[in-house]
Structure 1
Amino acid sequence: MSMSSMSMSSMSMTMSGTMTDTMSMATATDGSMPMSTSSSDDPMTMGMDSMAMVFFTSTSTSLWSMAFTPNTTGQYAGTCIFLIAFAAIFRLLLAIRVNFFEIIAAAKKRRTAGLLQPYEIAAEGVPRPWRASEAVMLGAMDVVIAGVSYLLMLAVMTMNVGYFLSILGGVFVGSILCGRYTGHSGAH
């Protein structure tokens, strides 16, 4: 939006000493929507005071996009099952990340049929040598874990009770399946 499409009024000082800035912004319908911000304790004038952040039950809550909106009860149940599986996959990814070096060592040993020196894990107190291939794989794994965790966070932030409980159920299932692999780490 360019400055020419926005008209701004000047700052004004009210009697109570608070500053108020009012501006009109052009909308898609070529009308104007007043926006007022104030440093006083008044609620925002854009209707934010009517948005209550409470849990609710609905079978037609959008998940991540308008295209991912269940229209029937069956689709809602499928979305909840998907969230359970997605949260369990998140726990699996954490278990893989925690045991990354052991998994790499086992894969290398299997690939060479045990003929070469096994890929040793560094002894306690001795830092492992840095390897670019491992750093790239760890970085990619961290990006995938962050992406999955942010998507789960956004699902919780819909405040839909079914989505919230599905994610908790998925974490529970994932912990049952992979908990023994993350038990000795600080991962959660």
Structure 2
Amino acid sequence: MSMTDMSMAASATMAMSDMASMTTSDMASATADSMSGMDHSSMMMGMQDMMMVFFSAKNTSLYSAAWTPSTTGQYVGTCIFLIALACIFRGLIALRCNFVALWTRSQRRRRGGLRYAADDPLVKQTRRPWAINEAASRAFLDTVLAGVSYLLMLAVMTMNVGYFLSILGGTFLGSFVIGGWTGTAAH
């Protein structure tokens, strides 16, 4: 072994022993120092910052910082919006459950006004022929359904009890009014 190799091995061993003797706080401060351009207070989070509990503040942002109610009326308006969005969600579910029947009905009307029957063999057929218009319509409906459900999920994730109860109330109201249509797909 040459002298250069021995000196490199000795430096590597010293660096490893230095790293092994570092405490966790030393590593954290070294990491924080290396990120000098970042805000240090936002980097360190204690367990009290990570607790997830419901709260009842009236100034909770919804979807963006621009949508932050500052008055009680704005908060109530936001809750009414969430009730309406949850009702729309239930309506979209009912529409999706009856998509094949509604699609077949609209096609029959377009082709000559044939009457719609619940026991129509085209509606009850298990494997329907693929059609681009029907597939695109179904895909669009599924995408809107996913988007609305994600918006509702984000509202619940704010952990605001008013937003949460508004979504539950809207789901109840939507199911109460439109829920009968959802069950027809199973018959």
TM over 0.5: same fold? yes
Matched AA of 2:77: G
Q: 1:48 to 1:138 in 2, by over 3 A?
A: farther
Q: Find the structure with the greater CA-based Rg.
A: 2
Report the secondary structure of 1:121's partner residue: helix
Larger helix percent? 2
Moved over 6 A (4+): 116-119
Name the counterpart of 2:173.
173
Structure 1 unaligned regions, length at least 5: 1-9, 36-44
Partner of 1:127: 127
Q: Does residue 53 in structure 1 map to residue 52 in structure 2?
A: yes
Aligned residues: 161
In the other structure, the counterpart of 2:145 is 145
Q: CA deviation at 1:137?
A: 1.0
**Given residue 40 of structure 2, which amino acid in structure 1 is its aligned partner?**
M
**Fraction of identical pairs, as percent:** 49
1:106 correspondence with 2:113: no
Confirm or deny that 1:33 pairs with 2:40. Answer: yes
For residues 7-62 of structure 1, what are the alpha-carbon distances to aligned partners after superposition, in whole Å with 9 as ceiling and x for unaligned?
A: xxx9934699xxx67523243xxx66399xxxxxxxxx711412221000011000
Question: Per-residue CA shift, 1:39-91, capped at 9, x if unaligned?
Answer: xxxxxx71141222100001100000011111100000000000000000000
Please say if residues 98 and 184 of structure 2, whose CA atoms lie closer than 8 Å, have aligned partners that are also in contact: no
Q: Is the contact between residue 98 and residue 185 of structure 2 (CA under 8 Å) also seen in structure 1?
A: no
| 2:40 alignment partner, SS class | strand
TM-score by length of 1: 0.73
TM-score by length of 2: 0.74
Structure with more of its chain in strand, by fraction = 1
Q: Which shows bigger deviation, 76-85 or 101-110?
A: 101-110
Query: Residues 105 and 69 from structure 1, CA distance in 2 versus in 1: closer, same or farther, beyond 3 angstroms?
Result: same
Higher relative contact order (CA 8 A, sep 6+): 2
How many Å separate the matches in 1 of 2:113 and 2:67? 48
What secondary structure is seen at the aligned counterpart in 1 of 2:53? coil
Letter in 1 for 2:44: M
- CA change 1:107–1:185 in 2 (3 A) is closer
In the superposition, relative to structure 1, how do residues 122 and 161 fare at CA in structure 2: closer, same or farther (>3 Å)? same
* Cα distance change on mapping 1:103 and 1:14 into 2, 3 Å: farther
